[in-house]
Structure 1
Amino acid sequence: MDLPAKNAQKFLTNCEIRIKDEVINAQKRVPDLGVEILKFSSDFDGKYFYPNGAVEILKDVKRPYYIWIFGNKNYLSKLNAAVPFSQLVKYDLSGIVAFANQSNVPFDIFNNSLTSKIIVPAHGDYHITIQADFRTTLQPDGVIQDKGNYTFNNSAIVVDGIYPISDA
């Protein structure tokens, strides 16, 4: 993208605001809209232009680039299942940001051994294991399965694990 010769920072700030506004408006029009932004890096030889007019010659450096994917979150989740992010690491994938409108997440709650849906307290605590289909949230499994991302109003509930529901 060519930036204006003067006040590139203001130009980029305005672009950021327009992108945010467009995504918000699109989410209102398309209830199942999902957005994924993938950060990759590539080898680069070229020039870097500083705001003060100075120019630096760059050789054999890594430069980030981003791929934005917009679409129905249900289709994006199928795409993510067919091509997991872990397979993109070999292409220098270094970050992912993904979001979608609120999703209905099918789930089941089991005892900690996954043998029953009846939860019996042990020493006053209710140990549970959650199985859920979080695919339409577009969040990576690492985020979904991190117990630190969940809080409960009842301190007697202890989550022993969070696992994806498999199609098998």
Structure 2
Amino acid sequence: MGSQHELSIEVNGEVRTGCVSARTNLADFLRENLRLTGTHIGCEHGVCGACTVLLDGQPARSCIMLAAQADGSSITTIEGVGGQGGELSDVQEAFCASHALQCGFCTPGMVLAVQALVDGVGNPDEDDIEEAIGGNICRCTGYVQIREAARLAIERAQKSRANELESAL
């Protein structure tokens, strides 16, 4: 039957606990145990990026990470990116405005990769965008619109930060 592991993970701001098999990967735990099906499973080898989640704010491939490894961590899935009332985040809005999605399979991973870029790098440039989305494969939309969405999300985040700074003064 295999050994079982108790775990406690903060998922999208809520502490979630569970008991999982030692072999359960994080993607399956999120999808099957927590019913967060926005985390897509594509290649199951960590290559395509469809399963990307944010682990303590950094992009992580949930298909090649064991759920037990995430014990005590904070996870953000695509379900946790938007606002409490279901409104879209700035990154999600940028993807819509730029037509940076088509079939939607890669979109959750792409959005989370760009979200990590926007949150983590003060003034991202084109190389930072390439690095951020480089581990995610899109077979429908193409990367022109996705890069455009990333630039738009960065621009909006910078304006928002400037407005916050101005308001604080």
User: Structure 2 length normalisation: TM-score?
Assistant: 0.22
Tell which structure's C-alpha radius of gyration is larger. Answer: 1
User: Structure 1 length normalisation: TM-score?
Assistant: 0.22
User: RCO higher in 1 or 2 (8 Å CA, sep ≥ 6)?
Assistant: 2
More strand by share: 1
